[in-house]
Structure 1
Amino acid sequence: MKNPIPTAFAGLEHLATAVLLLDGESQVLYANPAAEILFAVSSHQMEGFSLAQVFPNAGILLTAVENALAANSPFREHEFPITTVRQNTLVVTCTATPVDFNPVRLVLEFQQMDQQLRIAREERMLIQQQANAELLRNLAHEIRNPLGGLRGAAQLLEHELPQASLREYTQVIIKEADRLQLLMDRLLVPHRAPKYEPTNIHEVLERVRSLLLAESPQGISIRRDYDTSLPDLIGDREKLIQAVLNIARNAVQAMEGKGELILRTRAERQVTLAKKRYRVAIKLQIIDNGPGIPPDIHDRIFYPLVSGRAEGSGLGLTLAQTFITQHHGMIECESRPGHTCFTILLPLESTAYTTKQVPL
């Protein structure tokens, strides 16, 4: 650092709130450890750079800081987006306090709001998922027994019918009963306990990719964008494959024969999942450039029997969410015409993984 920081700010390194100290020219003098974690950039890298270099495209913040310095007046901006040098977009609430501790002129405090909103949304999803799972389990058990009786009666009737042409109708009953039986079996599959073992997420994705290539039309391209330095996670390989396949298959079907699917992996730091904080998690993204999810079902896509396709069962995303939740992870979705992104977060217990620093 070019100038020593006054002792009045010595306690900032112990705060959980991200704090930046600026001089009168909006240059960063100091970033505390919480800021390093939030912005994924070291204090050493930020020091001496202007706020505009640290936060590209943060016009609201830059204007507010300039006004605060000029008027020597504090401000507070609620829930606005900023883009970091790593191209991560965060929703934050920022408080600026002018001070007179040369060379420090402004103290910026950042609270990450999107994380709080995500945690609240995750809690609601977990409650809804538990209710859905209980409903489906009860429904499946109630239907299976009479369904077996219906199929058996149709088989007996088939043997009694004198004309072969009439047996066509009993075959319809038997086939539809079998289809419903298969559906009930799928509803009960998630309740098998996962078989946890070291699993490479890229082996999971390569298996999904090979399955999709075998069944997808020629006009669909599947691009890989992997962070191959990610360590193994502890998980059930088959359930992870099924979860990713359900999402990716929906994407391919939505593109109707032409488009691009991207399978991307990254590390995500300081993630809270199911009320537990993890130092690092795997962020897996499944991105397509199809028409997007219909707005009328966007908020219900993880509900059972909800589908945007007439021929869809509406169980693929429900099962995917169940499998990911069994791994203490979560699924998020953002969608608009031309861009749909499903993000899966899976916690890593290992703390050995570190990302390379990105120079400013």
Structure 2
Amino acid sequence: MGSLPANAHNDRGILDSLTTAVLVLGDRLRVEYLNPAAESLFETSLTRSHGQPLDDILLDSDDALSTLNAALENGQSYTRREAEFVLASGTRLTVDYSVTPLSLEPSELLMEIQGRDRLLRISREEDIISQQETTRTLVRGMAHEIKNPLGGIRGAAQLLDRELDSDEQREYTRVIIDEADRLRSLVDRMLGPNKAPQLAPTNVHEILERVRTLLEAESKGRVQLLRDYDPSLPDLVGDKEQLIQAFLNIARNAMEAAFECPDARPDGEPPTITFRTRALRQFTIGHRRHRLVCRVDVTDNGPGIPPDLLQNIFYPMISGRATGTGLGLSITQSIIGQHHGLVECESEPGRTDFIIFLPLEHCP
């Protein structure tokens, strides 16, 4: 069992209650103490890590190790902002940390670490929600300006159609009417669902299974559809049909991307989509904290989304495919937003993960 330096035993209760991760490193930067916050941050325990070199816990952290060695050599404190740590599990963390030599034990260092990922994620989500609201306002205003003259054009074409005697001339007026209807339909789709969600207790796995069934039929078995469900998830309060449409938009995009770029996968690897569900406790979406949140990952092994497109994929009319309309993900974000949730996307070559967060309690 690990121990604190002799001069710090009386302070252990205080350190154990801190939300800041605290480490004490001894000779050769070996772990002597971790408080509970540090155990949580580094996904380890004091029992398991005591006496181990720090670089057994932190991988690819040359900058941190050089900072620690400099603190030992110079006897000075150092602070680093938004540094990246890679854990043994492969998890990447963004942190602020300070290193302070212990005055009575010059070979020992006190390391204080504050995780930044949560704050950065909350800030990013607030930006996404703000952009979504701005986009919705812009689209509504644009839709109003488009639909009004379209109605007039269509009405005038209908009146003209009744006055014409020639079928050849009527063909032109019908083209005008059809194109006006097509544009009106496009604008309606940009606006997303035109009715409030019909809320009722809904099982997220029933929704995902419906989506899987539809994909199996559409792909004719050419896509491998995998499940990784948490069976303990309770029902959420939502509109089942709208949520099916939201998840189907994401899954269809994944399937189409995989089919368009078969060379992006290793030889012999089929197009694969994985549906994963997990429960998150005391989780913040935007500026609101929820007791329990459902996280759904829809992950594919397609070619990935280019970085310059990734930041804009939820805007209307933005698509990475020549045949895409650029409306599916915008509608999905709108539907999930009506359920007080959020959609995020992480992508790299060979892996794209759409992450959907939905509160598991009713939000008024």
Query: TM-score normalised to the size of structure 2?
Result: 0.81
CA distance in 1, matches of 2:55, 2:171: 73
2:42 touches 2:57 (CA, 8 Å); kept in 1?
no
CA deviation after TM superposition for structure 1 residue 235, in Å: 3.1
CA distance in 2, matches of 1:45, 1:109: 20
Question: Secondary structure of the equivalent of 1:6?
Answer: helix
Write out aligned runs for 1:222-241 (5 A).
222-241=225-244
Matching residue of 1:74? 77
CA deviation after TM superposition for structure 1 residue 127, in Å: 1.9
1:3 aligns with 2:3: yes
1:333 aligns with 2:333: no
CA deviation digits over 1:258-284, x for unaligned, max 9?
Answer: 432222223445533222334653332
AA at the equivalent of 1:211? L
Alignment partner for residue 61 of structure 1, among 61, 64, 72? 64
CA deviation after TM superposition for structure 1 residue 327, in Å: 3.0
AA at the equivalent of 1:136? V
CA deviation after TM superposition for structure 1 residue 247, in Å: 1.9
Relative to structure 1, the CA distance from residue 263 to residue 130 in structure 2 (aligned partners, 3 Å threshold; closer, same or farther) is same
CA distance in 1, matches of 2:23, 2:281: 20
AA at the equivalent of 1:3? S
CA distance in 2, matches of 1:118, 1:191: 30
Alignment partner for residue 173 of structure 1, among 159, 176, 181? 176
2:99 touches 2:109 (CA, 8 Å); kept in 1?
yes
1:21 touches 1:104 (CA, 8 Å); kept in 2?
no
Matching residue of 1:250? 253
Matching residue of 2:94? 91
CA deviation digits over 1:13-72, x for unaligned, max 9?
Answer: 332322233333544444334334444555555556553443445454345445545665
1:37 touches 1:269 (CA, 8 Å); kept in 2?
no
2:75 touches 2:106 (CA, 8 Å); kept in 1?
no
Question: Secondary structure of the equivalent of 1:297?
Answer: helix
CA RMSD of aligned residues (A): 3.2
Matching residue of 2:309? 297
Question: Secondary structure of the equivalent of 2:82?
Answer: strand
Question: Secondary structure of the equivalent of 1:319?
Answer: helix
1:282 touches 1:348 (CA, 8 Å); kept in 2?
yes
CA deviation after TM superposition for structure 1 residue 132, in Å: 1.2
AA at the equivalent of 1:306? I
1:24 touches 1:106 (CA, 8 Å); kept in 2?
no
Matching residue of 2:144? 141
Unaligned runs of at least 5 residues, structure 1: 351-360
Relative to structure 1, the CA distance from residue 91 to residue 186 in structure 2 (aligned partners, 3 Å threshold; closer, same or farther) is same
Write out aligned runs for 1:194-213 (5 A).
194-213=197-216
CA deviation digits over 1:294-320, x for unaligned, max 9?
Answer: 444332222222222344332222222
AA at the equivalent of 2:149? P
CA deviation digits over 1:319-341, x for unaligned, max 9?
Answer: 22222223333222233333322
CA deviation after TM superposition for structure 1 residue 287, in Å: 2.1
Matching residue of 1:152? 155
CA deviation digits over 1:178-230, x for unaligned, max 9?
Answer: 22222233344446333333332222222222222222365433222333333
What percent of counterpart residues are identical?
A: 48
CA distance in 2, matches of 1:141, 1:42: 59
CA deviation after TM superposition for structure 1 residue 253, in Å: 2.0
CA deviation after TM superposition for structure 1 residue 3, in Å: 3.2
Relative to structure 1, the CA distance from residue 19 to residue 147 in structure 2 (aligned partners, 3 Å threshold; closer, same or farther) is same
CA deviation after TM superposition for structure 1 residue 250, in Å: 1.8
AA at the equivalent of 1:332? E
CA distance in 1, matches of 2:21, 2:10: 18
Alignment partner for residue 216 of structure 1, among 196, 219, 244? 219
Question: Secondary structure of the equivalent of 2:178?
Answer: helix
Alignment partner for residue 278 of structure 2, among 230, 245, 266? 266
Question: Secondary structure of the equivalent of 1:142?
Answer: helix
Unaligned runs of at least 5 residues, structure 2: 263-270
CA deviation after TM superposition for structure 1 residue 2, in Å: 4.2
Query: TM-score normalised to the size of structure 1?
Result: 0.81
CA deviation digits over 1:237-266, x for unaligned, max 9?
Answer: 333222222222222222235432222223
CA deviation after TM superposition for structure 1 residue 112, in Å: 1.9
